[in-house]
Amino acid sequence: EQAFQHAADVPNLDFLALTDHSNSFEGQSGLPSAGTTHLGDENAEEVNASWAEGREGARAITAQEGDFVGIYGFEMTWSGGAPGHINTFNSEGFENRNAAPYKKGDNYEVLEAYYDTLNANPETISQFNHPGDTFGDFMDFALYDPVTDNQITLIEVGNGEGAIGSSGYFPSYSYYTRALDKGWHVAPTNNQDNHKGNWGDSNTARSVVLSDGLSEEAIYDGMKNYRVYATEDNDLSILYSLNGNAMGSILDEQEKIHITAEISDPTDTAGETKVEVIVNGGQTLAEKTFSGGSATVEFDNLSTGYGYYYLRVTQTDKNIAVTAPVWTGESVNAGISNTSSDVAMPIKGDEIQISSQIFNNLSDDMTVTSLTYTMEGQTEPFHTADAAAIGENGVIGARASYEYSFPYTAEQAGGFNINAELKATIGGEEYTFTDVLKLSVSDPSIATKVLVDGTHYNDYVNGYYSGNMTNFINMGTSDNIQVKIVQPGEEVTADMLEDVALFMISAPLKYTSDYTGDAQPSTFEDSFIQVVSDYVNGGGTVVVCGLADYQDANSGLPYTSYAQANALLEGIGSTMRINDDELIDQDENGGQPYRLYFDDFNYESTDPAVQSILAGVKESGLAYSSYSGCSVSVGEGEAIVYGHDTTYSINSKAPAQGHDKPVLSYSAEYDPNTAVVQKGDVVSMATETVGEGRVYACGTVFCSNFEVAAEDQVSYANGIMAQNLLSSVKAEPVISTIQEARAGADGEVFTVVGTVANGTAESGNAFFNTIYIQDEEGNGINVFPIDDSNIRRGDQVQVTGSVSGYIGDKQLSAINVTVLEGNKDVVITDTTTKEANDYETNFGKLVRVKGEATAVTMAGGIVESITVQDDSGEACRVFIDGYITYSDEASQALEEFVKEGAYISAVGFVSHDAEGNRLRVRDRSEILPAEEGEEPAPGGDQPGSETDRPGSGQQDGNTQTDGSQTGNGAQQAGAAVKDPVSAAQTGDNASVGVWIAIAVTAVLAAGAAAVVIVVGKRRRQRES
């Protein structure tokens, strides 16, 4: 209600759409549990009071004003910079990121799950929010699907609560082009990520919707059909048509292109305005300028060779507006894709290979004119390809492709994007194509290295069943463990293995087939065996994996798993062996006698390695998957996984090795005289100490994609055991002090242990996706992003992160956060206002100041910031995010006593935002009346002693612009401008944090008299 009432009085704003983080509706004190409500639930408002409050507020303002529309939706978010945030409107109910199947895990899978839900609710309208590094770009707009394309019709090109051009405003125009080039049909919006109040007048950004009236239904129709443009000027009018069709139209191929744009700005009449026609790749096809505030600009006889055309208008004051496109024909089926690294998690200082696929699926040749790679945020490329070396002298023939690759060494740890840009000509037309590689680079101080042998075209790696180690690789990457495949042609050396914690080796390729490509049968060389032996005996860990003899070469020796794996085991010095057999169970199987699921584990073992790898298996109740595996002879080792009492093994292919049993079919009845291993005696996995190291012998490639599912989808005990194995070899990080981290340079990686000074679990008093931690002296730093919503004040945490900054505020970008046992008191340091304003010395510290309030700023009728001055000679600014509430319900409302001239005390974190240095308040109850000369209260608060009070609009997340709410507004064509209101309003007893507006959008309601272009065309209706 507060936000809608404020916005209704804002000039050039006819509607406001608010969205809250949907996870804030559930799972907190007094609210239903996560996953209670779902999209499409018609009774959602009856079940969830928070959702009902927002919906009713929107309906009430619409009925009250008559000329203003309120809209309420929700924002689906995931923390940690991926996959992205999405606003969804016109919905019954909502979805929650903390409920299955959306829980943070594989970014593609959770995003696809939400897309599927949107597709099942076709009445909804969704928007790609603030695409970029910080909050995600939807995996570079992957997972395009024509059905989902109908559901997501908007994309933000600007976002933030700061003034246009300031550090608090975040343009993202390039992502608009990127989404269009990926095939998405989307229209641009420019919105406010508003955590401060001032809903609608925080800046002049607007999203303008071309509609046939000012109503919720008409606005939705415009949003659904792409009749939207985004502007940084709040009274700029653009009516754009192509061949008489309104922006947002989707047309067949056109014989000619004629564009008309009626542009008007009554308040900016000085200087020149530039109008550009933008086509595929963000290229400027044509441009014109005009003077004065209004003009009709026309472009005639433009090339018809592009898939979309939109306008970019740049005014004299550098304000930008972009329209929705008009699409013509099919998109250009050529460009650059699959930009990737040969290592999933590079380590700073290591050389990797970056490659891109350049493709041309058209009937004309494509001539490459340039190919560059640029770091996100930089203007100069760090690598420029030799265009003539691509394809045939720079030409990619019709329906052909070319892979380009180059070496790259990351000089800095952390996550960043590498943008690839390809410029080419096709049929005489110039095109620009883009792609992006998201790299997460670890630091040598915290990284653990795991190698997987691929030099022998190994089973399940790059030989038989090639490409099936990706889930294991991703499992390691998610835990800051680099799992790297050593490729054919490389040599495994002692130097390569020097800092490797684990070496995975499956059997070499034994025969070729239509599925093995250029791979050739291989054997383990003596030199390789010696290197592995030295590695293990020196303290390394090796896993040796065999397979059933069914997969041996028809030609026999030496191309058998038995011969190769046992030569390696013997050379290492292990007494374990794999057997020349295939495991069979006619009674307990998964449909075939060789598809087996074992549930007999050696829980009684006293071997620490066995105990470690089986941790959590019993509790999970999951079975161990063994498909077409062989048995393991334990020797002097220790069994880990046993077969069933009914499991035995047979000789399924000649030659017989290590026994004299005849070759049998898997369907043959059990005969103890012909069994290689008798019923009840089968071991499928074992381990042994060898020298200073450890060896595991497995009858299958137990951690392949078939056995180890994608993250958070454990199907078999194999996944738990694989994770346990990785954890057992993971390097322990060097612990630094918080002071050392505070002094670190951008990109440096630190691991620190500290006390949480403000967590994520304090309802109404938590910052968005951020925690602050401190040492025993109170020195602190903020940590972002945090996905755990259960971290409390006083908790002890271990944080690994890289030093970074956000709007001038230094922080640790979290790589890993672990909550430790125990808690401690939180330290509050009493300081002067001058010391509190000394950011360089005290940033991240929780301090208390006392002094006179010399200025008070209100937002939406509540206190937002207070300038406090004591006798130190320098004031400080005390800032309160709009969503921060009172932990003590008995606290006096700030609006009752925080006045100019009043003496107060305030507690907050020394930090920085777009306006400068500040104290960031964690709790409104910690701002109190004070007397001049009064001694401050003792520093320190007892963890858990404060009473949690659910905040009306409280959400988990970071103060960074994260799109937790979006507002959309409308300007009626020809309507009078409303009286301006002050951005800093006053009011008494206003509730705190009821609404948090994040995006403000304006709507141009085109009435019959004002409409000079065709409007109201239904989406996807083809026109000639």
* 322 found inside a domain: no
Name which residue leads in pLDDT, 414 or 955: 414
CATH code for the domain in which residue 885 is found: 2.40.50.140
CATH code for the domain in which residue 351 is found: 2.60.40.10
Band of residue 986 on the pLDDT scale cut at 50, 70, 90: very low
| Distance of alpha carbon 11 from alpha carbon 777, whole angstroms | 49
H or E element at residue 738: helix 738-742
Residues 407, 511: one domain?
no
User: What percentage of the chain exceeds 70 in pLDDT?
Assistant: 90
Burial of 274 (0-12, 13-18, 19+ CB in 10 A): middle
DSSP code per residue over 476-512: HHHTTEEEEEEPTT----HHHHTTEEEEEEEPPP---
Residues 359, 452: one domain?
no
Q: pLDDT digit string (tens) for 913-943?
A: 989 999 999 999 999 999 876 554 444 443 3
What is the total residue count of the chain?
Answer: 1024
Which pLDDT score is estimated for 416? 82
Strand pairing report for 876-879 and 862-869: antiparallel
Decide: 993 and 883 in contact? Cβ < 8 Å: yes
Q: Is the pLDDT of residue 86 over 90?
A: yes
Q: Is the pLDDT of residue 440 over 90?
A: no
Q: Structure tokens of 489? A: 């042609």
| Distance of alpha carbon 760 from alpha carbon 922, whole angstroms | 11
Which pLDDT score is estimated for 256? 96
* 893 found inside a domain: yes
Decide: 519 and 509 in contact? Cβ < 8 Å: yes
Cβ-proximal residues to 274 (8 Å cutoff; 6+ apart), any chain: 287, 288, 289, 313, 314
Q: Structure tokens of 184? A: 């998405």
* 483 found inside a domain: yes
* 262 found inside a domain: no
Q: Is the pLDDT of residue 20 over 80?
A: yes
| Distance of alpha carbon 269 from alpha carbon 781, whole angstroms | 48
Cβ-proximal residues to 29 (8 Å cutoff; 6+ apart), any chain: 763, 948, 950
Which pLDDT score is estimated for 711? 52
Residues 380, 465: one domain?
no
Residues 505, 521: one domain?
yes
Residues 600, 686: one domain?
yes
Q: Give me the domain span that covers residue 620.
A: 448-729
Residues 486, 388: one domain?
no
Which pLDDT score is estimated for 934? 59
Amino acid occupying residue 313:
V
Q: How far is CA 709 from CA 57, 165, 484, 510, in A?
A: 45, 46, 18, 26
CATH code for the domain in which residue 456 is found: 3.40.50.880
* 9 found inside a domain: no
Band of residue 863 on the pLDDT scale cut at 50, 70, 90: very high
Residues 428, 559: one domain?
no
Residue at which a domain ends, from 426, 441, 456: 441
Band of residue 700 on the pLDDT scale cut at 50, 70, 90: very high
Q: pLDDT digit string (tens) for 807-823?
A: 899 999 888 899 999 99
Decide: 797 and 814 in contact? Cβ < 8 Å: no
Q: Structure tokens of 352? A: 């990797």
Average pLDDT over residues 786-793: 88
H or E element at residue 636: none
Which pLDDT score is estimated for 979? 29
Residue at which a domain ends, from 441, 458, 488: 441
Decide: 784 and 972 in contact? Cβ < 8 Å: no
| Distance of alpha carbon 114 from alpha carbon 94, whole angstroms | 11
Which pLDDT score is estimated for 714? 67
Residues 535, 613: one domain?
yes
Residue 986 C-beta-side C-alpha neighbours within 13 Å: 7
Residue 992's Cα: distance from chain center in Å? 30
Band of residue 424 on the pLDDT scale cut at 50, 70, 90: very high
Which pLDDT score is estimated for 970? 36
Which pLDDT score is estimated for 783? 96
Band of residue 149 on the pLDDT scale cut at 50, 70, 90: very high
Q: Which residues pair with 814 in a beta bridge?
A: 801
Q: Is the pLDDT of residue 1019 over 50?
A: no
Q: pLDDT digit string (tens) for 601-652?
A: 999 999 999 999 999 999 999 999 999 999 999 999 999 999 999 999 999 9
Q: Is the pLDDT of residue 1000 over 70?
A: no
Task: Look over the chain and give the mean of its residue pLDDT values, rounded to a whole number.
Answer: 88
Dihedral pair phi/psi, residue 126, rounded to 5°: -130, 160
Domain count, the chain: 3
Q: Is the pLDDT of residue 197 over 50?
A: yes
Band of residue 957 on the pLDDT scale cut at 50, 70, 90: very low
Decide: 87 and 138 in contact? Cβ < 8 Å: no
Q: Structure tokens of 536? A: 């293990």
Average pLDDT over residues 444-471: 93
* 702 found inside a domain: yes
Residues 478, 524: one domain?
yes
Which pLDDT score is estimated for 710? 58
| Distance of alpha carbon 922 from alpha carbon 218, whole angstroms | 41
Q: Is the pLDDT of residue 961 over 60?
A: no
Which pLDDT score is estimated for 80? 64
Which pLDDT score is estimated for 351? 93
In 503-627, which residue ranges form alpha helices assigned H by DSSP? 526-537, 561-572, 608-613, 617-620
Band of residue 144 on the pLDDT scale cut at 50, 70, 90: confident
* 460 found inside a domain: yes
pTM (two decimals): 0.62
| Distance of alpha carbon 611 from alpha carbon 753, whole angstroms | 28
| Distance of alpha carbon 712 from alpha carbon 503, whole angstroms | 24
Which pLDDT score is estimated for 516? 78
Q: Is the pLDDT of residue 1023 over 60?
A: no
Q: How far is CA 189 from CA 28, 128, 281, in A?
A: 32, 10, 19
Q: For the stretch 845-869, what's the b/e string if a residue is b when 16 or more beta carbons lie within 10 angstroms of its beta carbon?
A: bbbbbbbbbeebbbbbbbbbbbbbb
Q: Is the pLDDT of residue 314 over 90?
A: yes
Which pLDDT score is estimated for 971? 37
Residues 483, 403: one domain?
no
Residues 453, 435: one domain?
no
Residue at which a domain ends, from 441, 473, 493: 441
Q: Structure tokens of 867? A: 């300038």
Q: 187 by DSSP, 3-state: which?
A: strand
DSSP code per residue over 275-297: EEEEEGGGEEEEEEEEESSEEEE
Which pLDDT score is estimated for 887? 93
Residues 592, 716: one domain?
yes
| Distance of alpha carbon 420 from alpha carbon 355, whole angstroms | 10
Phi-psi region of 447 (alpha: psi -120 to 50; beta: other; left: phi over 0): beta
Please give the angle made by the CA atoms of 982, 984 and 989, to the nearest 5 degrees.
115
Work out the widest C-alpha separation in the chain, in whole angstroms: 100
* 518 found inside a domain: yes
Amino acid occupying residue 432:
T
Please give the angle made by the CA atoms of 235, 241 and 246, to the nearest 5 degrees.
90
Burial of 663 (0-12, 13-18, 19+ CB in 10 A): middle
